[in-house]
Amino acid sequence: MIDPDSGHPATCHGVTIDSQFDFEGKLVVIKIDVESHEPEVLEGMKNILSKNRCILQVEVWDQPSGETERRFKALSTMFTAHGIRFVRAIDADFYFVSDFPHGREVRS
Kindly report the CATH number assigned to the domain that includes residue 57. Answer: 3.30.110.150
Neighbours of 74 (CB within 10 A): 14
> Per the structure, how many domains does the chain have?
1
Residue 62 above 70 pLDDT?
yes
Long-range contacts of 62-70 (CB under 8 A, 24+ apart): 62/92, 63/35, 63/36, 67/36, 68/92
Alpha helix (H) residue ranges in the chain: 17-20, 38-43, 46-51, 68-80
| Segments forming the whole domain that contains residue 58 | 26-98
Query: What is the average per-residue pLDDT within 72-101?
Result: 88
Residue 17 above 90 pLDDT?
yes
* 12 falls within a domain: no
What pLDDT, on a 0 to 100 scale, did the predictor assign at position 54?
Answer: 93
Residue 102 above 60 pLDDT?
no
* 78 falls within a domain: yes
β-pairing, 84-90 with 93-98?
A: antiparallel
- Quick one: pLDDT band at residue 95, thresholds 50, 70, 90? very high
What pLDDT, on a 0 to 100 scale, did the predictor assign at position 20?
Answer: 95
Q: Dmax over Cα atoms in the chain, in whole Å?
A: 53
Residue 13 above 90 pLDDT?
no
97 φ/ψ angles, rounded to the nearest 5 degrees: -145, 150
What pLDDT, on a 0 to 100 scale, did the predictor assign at position 70?
Answer: 85
**Type of residue at 4:** P
* 105 falls within a domain: no
